[in-house]
Amino acid sequence: MKTSLLRHVGFLFIYLFIVWGSYRLLIKLPDTIEEIIIKPLIWITPVIFLVKKEKLGLNTIGITFDNFFRSVYISLILGSVFVMVAVTLNYFKYGRLNFGANLGNEGLFLSLGLSFATAISEEITFRGYIFTRLWRALGDESRYGEWQANLITSLAWTALHIPITIFVNKLDPLSAIIYLFLTFIFGIGSAFLYGRTKNIGSSIFLHVLWEWPIILFR
């Protein structure tokens, strides 16, 4: 079982890196289409396929009502840290607090909705599936196994953001390094939080709280 879980995780990451990376390089559709239709098809479809193949329930990727309110509460506390860090970086980048942020052509509420859509696809895939399967394979009874799984997942998460950093955000080298560093730190925090709650809602809410300060920094 452990070998098959590692094989599934490796397959999923390579698939995402090639397919999603190629998509980011070659195609650009409106954000609403990408985040609501394209990303769920590319990201969540293989996850559901693998979960069914493993004959495990959706609760094993955090889709459950257990600990929901506790998850939201902890997400708000931890998310406030990301907000403070990103706003501080925003100040140092622009020499002032620049809240004329890059929201694109979308309104505030649509942008927020798209943030949730993005978070759902990415958190179910990375924290819900990749992190939990690595944790199981590396030893789900030990804290060492959890941190191994956390670091590997966070590194893979960061690597998958390299294409968007280069081809979509088109950040300068320093900004790209900071963005990827924040992405890595978020990955660690999100997996740690998920490990405490076993509810993917915690990671989804934390993702939204992280993404908006990143938008302000950008």
Quote the DSSP letter at residue 106.
S
Rounded Cα–Cα distance for residues 63 and 21 (Å): 27
Rounded Cα–Cα distance for residues 138 and 132 (Å): 10
Contact (CB, 8 A) for 82 and 48: no
Express each pLDDT in 134-168 by its tens digit. 999 998 767 789 999 999 999 999 999 998 888 87
The candidate with the shortest Cα–Cα distance to 201, out of 19, 51, 61, is 61
Phi and psi, residue 171, nearest 5°: -80, 150
Query: What's the confidence (pLDDT) of residue 169?
Result: 80
Phi-psi category of 30—alpha, beta or left, where left has phi over 0 and alpha has psi -120 to 50?
A: beta
Mean pLDDT by 10 residues, the chain (218 residues): 91 96 89 94 97 94 90 84 73 68 59 90 98 91 87 96 85 88 92 94 91 59
Helix (H, G, I), strand (E, B) or coil at 55: coil
Express each pLDDT in 9-28 by its tens digit. 999 999 999 999 899 888 88
Query: What's the confidence (pLDDT) of residue 67?
Result: 87
Query: What's the confidence (pLDDT) of residue 190?
Result: 94
- For the stretch 71-77, contacts whose Cβ atoms lie closer than 8 Å and that sit 24 or more positions apart, written own/partner, are 71/193, 71/197, 71/199, 71/201, 71/202, 71/205, 72/201, 72/202, 72/205, 74/193, 74/196, 74/197, 74/202, 75/193, 75/201, 75/202, 75/203, 75/205, 75/206, 75/209, 76/205, 76/209
| pTM attached to this predicted model | 0.86
Query: What's the confidence (pLDDT) of residue 16?
Result: 96
Token pair belonging to 10? 């490796």
Query: What's the confidence (pLDDT) of residue 179?
Result: 85
Query: What's the confidence (pLDDT) of residue 141?
Result: 66
